[in-house]
Structure 1
Amino acid sequence: MIDWHWARLLAAALACFAGAAQAKLEVDQWRAESGARVLFVEGRSIPMVDISVEFPAGSAYDPPGKSGLARLANDLLKAGSARTGEAELGRRFADIGAEIGHSFDRDRAGASLRTLSAARELNAAVAALAEMLSAPAFPQSAFAREKARLTAHVREAETRPDQLAERRLWALMYRGHPYGASPTSESVAAIERADVARFHRAHYWAEGAVVTIVGDLSRAQAAALAARITGPLVFSAEGSRAGGEASGRPGPVAPAGGGVVALPHPAGQSHLLLGLPAVARDDPDYFPLFVGNYVLGGGGFVSRLYSEVREKRGYAYNVYSYFQPLERPGPFLLGLQTRKDQTEEALAAARSVLEEFIARGPSEAELKAAKNGLGSGFPLRIDSNRKILAQLAMVGFYGLPVTWIEDFVANVRRVTLPEVKSAFARRIDLSRLATVIIGAPEK
C-alpha cells in the first residue's frame, strides 16, 4: 500500500530541491585588504560553512628537473605549523568536527574547509586553516614520508596502462611546456626540504589567493573570515600576477606537433589516448566546443563515438572525449580501450568519427538533444554548498564573470550549429593530433 502522507512529503521535498537548484545564485565579490580575491554566496539552508583557498601553485609551476615539488608543497600543508605539530593540528580540526581537504591540478593548488557555522567551531576552524596556510613547518620527518609516498605513486603510475598513456600523451601534446611535465623517480629524488619551503614562499601569497566562501553567514562575517585567512600570508613579489611569466606562470603553448607513441605492455587490452591543446578556460569557443563534444563523445550512450565505435563495430566497451580547459589552452582528449588484435581498426574508427564530426558537425536533432541534456543536468552540479563552492572557486581562479554559473544554461542554449562546426574546425587539427598506444600489438 502506498503511504500517501510520506509521498506528499517526498514530493514537497523534491519541489523544494528543484526550486533551490534553479534559484538565482547571488554572488558577492571583493578584494580583501590583503589583496586576495574573495567570492561569497550566502546559503542558510544548513548550519555549515564551506571555504576554498586556492593559489597559482599547481604542477605547471614546478621548476625544471623537480617535477613533483608543487604537489609535495601542497600535501605537506597539513603536516603542522611552526606552532602546532601535525598530530595536534589534525586534532584541532577533528575536535570541532571540521573537514580539511586539498585541491591540486596543473594550474592551481590550495585547501578547503567544511565546518559548522556556530561561532566557536567556525572561529577555531578558520584559525587552524590560516595557521596551516601561512606558517607550515614542513618537518623533515613528514617531508621524507610524503616524498617516499610520491615516489611510490610515480613508480606505480609507470606500470598502469591508463596512467602511463596519460603521462606520455601530455608529454607529446606539450613538448617543452610545463603542462607536459610529470613527476619521475629522478625528479622527486632531486627535491629537498628547502625547495618546498622556497616554493611555498613564492606561490602561497595573499595577492595571488582566491578565497571562496559558501554557507550560513553574512557578507560581513565572510569578509572577516577572508581577512583572517589571508592577512597572515606573506606577499611575495616572486609570485605576483603582475610579474607575468617572469614569476614562473605558464607561458604560451606552442602549436601541437602531433606524433605517435606505441609501447608494449602486458595488459590484456590496448589503451588508446589521442589529444592536442585546444581551449583555455576563458576562451569564447568554450561553449560551442563543450556542447559539440556532448554529441561527439561526452554524452555517454547517446554520443557518436559510443554508437559507432562500440555499438556498431564492437571495438571498445568504453569510448569517450572531452575538453579540459586550463589557464593556457588545455587539451581535447579522446580515449578508448580495445583488444590488442583490433587496435589499428579501433583507432581508425575513432579517428573517422572525429574527422566526420569536424567536417559536418552535429545534426539539428543532436544539437537539440545535447542542449537539453546539458541544461537539465546542470542543476545537479550546484545542488549543494560543496558543489557551488567547487564551481565558484573555478570561476574566481580563472577570472570568469561571477554570473558564469547563473548564465551557464543560457550559454548552452545559445550555441548554434555554425558555431560548433567553426569551433571544431579551427581547434581540432587532425594532422596535429598526438596519439599514444599502451599495449600496442607486436608486429
Structure 2
Amino acid sequence: MTRRILRTRAFAALLFFIATAFSPLALALPTIERFTTANGVRVDFVASREQPLIDVVVSFDAGSARDPEGKEGLASLTRQLLDTSTRVHDEQGLSDAFADLAVSLSGSVDEDRATVAWRNLSEAQVRDAAADLVAEVLTQPIFSPAIFIRERANAKAALKDALTRPEVLSERTFTANVYRDHPYGKLPTLESLDRITREDLIAFHRAYYTRAAAHVAIVGDLDRAQAEQLADRITAKLPAGEAPKPLPPVAQTQAHDERIAHPAQQAHLRLGLAVMTRDDPDYFPLLVGNHVLGGGGFGSRLVDEIREKRGYAYSVASVLEPRRQAGPFVIALQTRGKQAEEAMALARETLERFREQGPTAEELRRAQDNIAQGFGLRLDSNRKLIGYVSMMGYYGLPLDWLERYPEAVRAVSTQQVQDAFARRIDPARLVTVRVGGDGDR
C-alpha cells in the first residue's frame, strides 16, 4: 500500500510539474481524426506527443434545454451530483480515488450540453484506471439522498442570492423575453428547484447520459488505436438510449422593452435578439462584424461612441453566442441611472448606423488581423485545443473548420458584413432591458 501511495504521489508531482513548467505549445494546426466506436459513440481525436498527458471531454445532449417544464434546474443538478458518489465509492472515497490518480474531474452545463472533462498522465496504467473511474461516474451514480438534499439547498441559496443582483436580473429578463416558450428560455426558480426530486435526477440521467446522446473528444499522447481503446473503455457500459428529439427552431424575436426597479446606482442595460447557430451560413460575416461593432474591445464602435466620446460607461460590449439553435446577440453595458436612457439610445443608434453602413475598410482590416492573428493563441495548449475539438465534434462541424477559420475570416468583405447585419439584426425586433439605476438620484 505504501509503495502504491508513493507511486501515485509521484505521478501527481510529475503532472503538476508538466502543467506548470512547460510554456504553452506552439502548435501547428492539428489533424483531427473522426471515428465512431464499436458501440456507436462519435469520437474526435488529436494526437499530441509533446507532453505525456491526455485530455478528454465527454459531452451529452443533456443541457438545460432538456429540463422538463416546471423543473428548471434539473440538468444542472444532475451534472452537479453525477461525480459525488457511485455504487462503488462514497463522496470521500471517489474524491480520494481521483486524487490518487492525479486526476482533476471537471465539467459544465449550458443550454445545449453537459460535459465531463479530465486530464491524466498518458502512462497506460494511469490512463486505463482513470478511464474506468470516469466510466463508473458516468454509469453508476447513486445521487445520494443526503447529498441531493444538501446540493439542492445550496442551489436554492445561490439562486436566492443571485436574484438580488441587478446584472443577474438583467440577464434573466433578457433571456426570458428573447426565448419566451422556447427551451432556451427555461430558467430555474426557487419553486422549480423545490419541485425537483432525487427520482427526477435518476430519470434524467437514464434518459440523456447514453451512448446515443454522447460525444467524446480526446487530445494527447496516444495513437489512434489507443484512442479507440480509450473511447471504448469510457463508453462501453453506457446504456444505448435513444437520440433526444431535436430542439425546435427559435421563433423570431418580438420587440419588448422592460424596466425593473432596483436600488443599485448603476443601471444594467441589455439589448439584442436571437441570431446565430453553430453552423450558420452567416457565421463569419457576423463574427467579423461583431468584432468591429463591440466584440473587439478598445477601438470598437460601441466603446468609442459610448465610453470614449461620452463617458457613459466604463465597459460596453456586444456578444454573439452561437448554439445548436439560434443563440443570442446582445449589447450589454452598465451606466449611471441618470444617463441610462441616453446610453441605451446611443447603443441602439450605433447599432442601426453600423447595420446600414457596415464597417469601413480600415475597421474591417483591423478586425480581420486581430481575429486571424490571435487565432493561434487559442490553440497553443492541449487544454485550449480540447475545447475546440469537443465543440466541433459535438456540433458536427467539418473537420477542416479550424484550418479554414483564419482564411474564412480574411475572406469576409465589408459588403458581406453589412448585408448579414442588415438581414439578421432587425432594430424593430430588439428586446431591451434596464435593471437598476434607481439609486442614482
Q: How high is the TM-score relative to the length of structure 1?
A: 0.92
> What is the one-letter code of the residue matched to 1:286?
Y
Structure 2 residue 75 is the aligned partner of structure 1 residue 70: yes
In the alignment, which residue of structure 2 is the partner of 1:39? 44
The correspondence for 2:424, drawn from 411, 427, 438, is 427
Alpha-carbon distance in structure 2 between the residues aligned to 1:322 and 1:340: 23
Contact 2:78–2:204 (Cα < 8 Å) also in 1 = yes
Alpha-carbon distance in structure 1 between the residues aligned to 2:55 and 2:29: 19
Deviates more, 1:406-415 or 1:45-54: 406-415
In the alignment, which residue of structure 1 is the partner of 2:155? 150
Contact 2:54–2:220 (Cα < 8 Å) also in 1 = yes
What's the CA shift for 1:17?
7.6
Map 1:106-145 onto structure 2 (within 5 A).
106-145=111-150
The correspondence for 1:97, drawn from 80, 102, 109, is 102
Alpha-carbon distance in structure 1 between the residues aligned to 2:191 and 2:247: 22
Alpha-carbon distance in structure 1 between the residues aligned to 2:25 and 2:182: 45
In the alignment, which residue of structure 1 is the partner of 2:91? 86
Give the 3-state SS of the residue equivalent to 1:408 in structure 2: helix
Contact 2:265–2:438 (Cα < 8 Å) also in 1 = no
Change in Cα spacing, 1:86 to 1:18, as seen in structure 2 (3 Å) is: closer
Give the 3-state SS of the residue equivalent to 2:119 in structure 1: strand
Deviations 1:16-74 (A, max 9, x none): 989833x1311101011121110000011111100000011000000000000000010
Give the 3-state SS of the residue equivalent to 1:183 in structure 2: coil
Change in Cα spacing, 1:176 to 1:119, as seen in structure 2 (3 Å) is: same
In the alignment, which residue of structure 1 is the partner of 2:362? 365
In the alignment, which residue of structure 1 is the partner of 2:316? 319
What's the CA shift for 1:381?
0.7
* Identical aligned residues as a percent: 47
In the alignment, which residue of structure 2 is the partner of 1:262? 259
Contact 2:60–2:208 (Cα < 8 Å) also in 1 = yes
Map 1:235-274 onto structure 2 (within 5 A).
235-237=240-242, 240-241=243-244, 244=245, 249-274=246-271
Alpha-carbon distance in structure 2 between the residues aligned to 1:18 and 1:36: 31
Change in Cα spacing, 1:288 to 1:351, as seen in structure 2 (3 Å) is: same
Contact 2:269–2:344 (Cα < 8 Å) also in 1 = yes
In the alignment, which residue of structure 2 is the partner of 1:162? 167
Deviations 1:176-231 (A, max 9, x none): 11111210000000000000000001101012211000001111111001001111
The correspondence for 2:377, drawn from 377, 380, 402, is 380
Alpha-carbon distance in structure 1 between the residues aligned to 2:168 and 2:139: 33
The correspondence for 1:389, drawn from 386, 391, 406, is 386
In the alignment, which residue of structure 2 is the partner of 1:6? none
Alpha-carbon distance in structure 1 between the residues aligned to 2:69 and 2:24: 49
In the alignment, which residue of structure 2 is the partner of 1:55? 60
Deviates more, 1:157-166 or 1:190-199: 157-166
What's the CA shift for 1:260?
1.0
Alpha-carbon distance in structure 1 between the residues aligned to 2:199 and 2:115: 20
Contact 1:92–1:125 (Cα < 8 Å) also in 2 = no
The correspondence for 1:352, drawn from 345, 349, 356, is 349
Give the 3-state SS of the residue equivalent to 2:34 in structure 1: strand
Contact 2:174–2:431 (Cα < 8 Å) also in 1 = yes
Give the 3-state SS of the residue equivalent to 2:141 in structure 1: coil
Alpha-carbon distance in structure 2 between the residues aligned to 1:325 and 1:165: 20
Structure 2 residue 191 is the aligned partner of structure 1 residue 186: yes
In the alignment, which residue of structure 1 is the partner of 2:287? 290
Deviations 1:102-121 (A, max 9, x none): 12100000200100111221
Alpha-carbon distance in structure 1 between the residues aligned to 2:346 and 2:299: 17
Structure 2 residue 220 is the aligned partner of structure 1 residue 210: no
Alpha-carbon distance in structure 1 between the residues aligned to 2:45 and 2:67: 30
Give the 3-state SS of the residue equivalent to 1:301 in structure 2: coil
The correspondence for 2:327, drawn from 330, 342, 352, is 330
Contact 1:47–1:216 (Cα < 8 Å) also in 2 = yes
In the alignment, which residue of structure 2 is the partner of 1:3? none
What's the CA shift for 1:288?
0.5
In the alignment, which residue of structure 1 is the partner of 2:277? 280
Give the 3-state SS of the residue equivalent to 1:99 in structure 2: coil
Deviations 1:332-363 (A, max 9, x none): 01000000000110001111100000000000
| Aligned residue-pair number | 419
In the alignment, which residue of structure 2 is the partner of 1:4? none
> What is the one-letter code of the residue matched to 2:76?
R
What's the CA shift for 1:124?
1.2
> What is the one-letter code of the residue matched to 1:355?
E
Deviates more, 1:333-342 or 1:155-164: 155-164
In the alignment, which residue of structure 1 is the partner of 2:5? none
- What are the ranges of 5 or more consecutive residues in structure 2 without an aligned counterpart? 1-21
What's the CA shift for 1:441?
4.1
Give the 3-state SS of the residue equivalent to 2:332 in structure 1: strand
Alpha-carbon distance in structure 2 between the residues aligned to 1:386 and 1:147: 31
